[in-house]
Amino acid sequence: MAGRTGARVLALPPETVLERPVATLHDIGATLEPDAVWVLGRSREPTAAARARHAIDAPVIHPPLETGGDALSRRPIGDDGLAFAVARSASALRAGDGIRSASDQNEDEREVDALICDDIATTTRPTALETTLDHAAELAAALPTGRTTTVLTGGLPAGYDERWHVAAETGTVRTVEHDPLRSSDSVADDCVAVRVRGAGPVDGYGGPNAVVELEFTADGLVSSTAHAASDFGLEAISGIGPKTAGRLAECGVTTRSELLETPVAALADIEGIGPKSARRMHQHATVLETGEPRRVGNASLPGENWSTPPLCIDIETDGLSPTIIWQIGVYDPSTDTYRAFVERDDPADRASVLQAFCDWLLGVHPNRALLTWNGWGFDYRHLGAFVARHCPAYAAEWESIPKFDLYLWADGDDNALLPGRTNELDVVAAELGYDGAATGLDGARTAAAYQRFMRTGDGSELEWDRHEAYCEDDCRALWHVYERLRDAPQVSAGSSASGAASSSSTAEQASGEQTGLGDF
């Protein structure tokens, strides 16, 4: 955690803490390195809180167990000492003295960066076609007027982000901003603005056993990443699910190191495993423990045998459902050069960046293939749609360009074992020794910065060089992973069918056919 700014808070449902082995909780803490652990829940779960304290080396927050004379306790979190207020319940908000505004504070007490209260949620009434904010009156009584306060709750899923304007005197909701980043920052003097951010489990990421990672910066920005609990511990190994992990635990195997100490033959004798799965478990556990990737079978990397390597590309947008592609970065491994196409002047201009990129690509490199990480899940999909809409003269040429997706080749087609606990590019590249530019940015932060530019029309505060460096870093990281996989030793695929399927899929990628990989 050295050198990290802001704060990282890990939100864990009690079910995750109680149902996962202690070894898995250790791995969650070691992998994500939180500054604090927040055990969610409206009811008291002392066993879950105690188990989290035992397993993870970070302060643990469980609001129902917060003690002390104040209904609202304050917690400094992270090296920057970001100030969090914790409410035991919604009733504690009304019973307490409230969260003072900056002008009312002592000089040695900073403004609260966020309030944690798991009682905060929304209620939708389908017959009335309306959604209400639970405990709006309590929030109005506790929070300062005339400004926005971020409220974190496990009562809503990670990714929920809406700003509610509530009358200070009555608690009546006046307006709701469904996209706070694109809305005005102004708050009426007689209003409390509550920016509600969800931290609860997300469908598709482990259900009730999700692990949600919240990142805070000193300017108040918060982003969230949901992981499945199965991304950690023994279940991170290919072929091991909850049932197999339970059978292994019955045999005294609860960690990856213990699995590697168990002979393959002994693993194969365990019910439901068998020789092929046992070998694969050993191979993947070795990759996770050593950080060294392995290629599976004999399939060539995308474009590996071509005379000129593919161009590595990455795009930046204003969100996961973009209205603009405002940056396209391209790294050419053959010359070790990078080029960026960026819209700095007019965020309403959707065509200029695409036009300049297509002019350059088709005019200078008409015969080069492209390489992305999860391109069929995001980059290629949106580039194709935007080119067709805003640069239709190039649509046919764009479709004919060979396009490779290294993530799909490695993970989707099962051609490689990767060392990252997750298969996000920055995680895999870091595990493979890539020394990044340390821009402090991620996709959510770059999107949020451009959203502010779109909202205000003022790009003077947007650190353009920093955002270009972030995009370049992703392109260079992609090629670093490619080279490491190219040089990685091979292990047996276990069947010839795997290699044949992989070769077929690689050909589909090169022809530009979408393979159906979902969003990543």
**245-250 mean pLDDT:** 90
Tens of pLDDT, residue by residue over 147-189, are 899 999 999 998 889 999 999 989 999 999 887 866 777 899 9
- The residue that leads in pLDDT, 159 or 100, is 159
State the pLDDT confidence band at 472, using cuts at 50, 70 and 90.
very high
Nearest alpha carbon to residue 57 among 31, 85, 88 = 31
Whether 341 and 328 have beta carbons less than 8 Å apart is answered as yes
Confidence at residue 500, expressed as pLDDT on a 0 to 100 scale: 36
Confidence at residue 11, expressed as pLDDT on a 0 to 100 scale: 96
* Cα 500 from Cα 415, distance rounded (Å): 11
* Cα 142 from Cα 90, distance rounded (Å): 10
Least confident of 19-28, 199-208, 299-308, 386-395: 199-208
* Cα 182 from Cα 179, distance rounded (Å): 6
Tens of pLDDT, residue by residue over 198-236, are 999 876 555 666 899 998 887 777 778 888 888 898 998
Percent of the chain with pLDDT over 90: 58
State the pLDDT confidence band at 504, using cuts at 50, 70 and 90.
very low
**Residue 508 predicted with pLDDT over 70:** no
Sketch the domain layout of the chain as residue ranges: 7-102+109-228, 242-290, 311-487
Tens of pLDDT, residue by residue over 416-435, are 999 877 788 998 999 999 99
Confidence at residue 4, expressed as pLDDT on a 0 to 100 scale: 59
CATH 1.10.150.20 correct for 242-290: yes
Round the average pLDDT of the chain to a whole number and report it.
86
What's the predicted TM-score (pTM) here?
0.72
How does 411-447 read in b/e, with b if 16+ C-beta sit within 10 Å? Answer: bbbbbbbbbbbbbbbbebbbbbebeeeebebbbbbbb
The domain made up of 311-487 has a fold known as: Nucleotidyltransferase; domain 5 (3.30.420)
- The residue that leads in pLDDT, 119 or 80, is 119
Confidence at residue 371, expressed as pLDDT on a 0 to 100 scale: 98
Query: How is 380-438 classified by DSSP, letter by letter?
Result: HHHHHHHHHHH-GGGHHHHHHS-EEEHHIIIIITT-EE--SSS--HHHHHHHTT-----
Tens of pLDDT, residue by residue over 291-312, are 899 998 889 999 999 999 999 9
Nearest alpha carbon to residue 133 among 167, 190, 173, 93 = 173
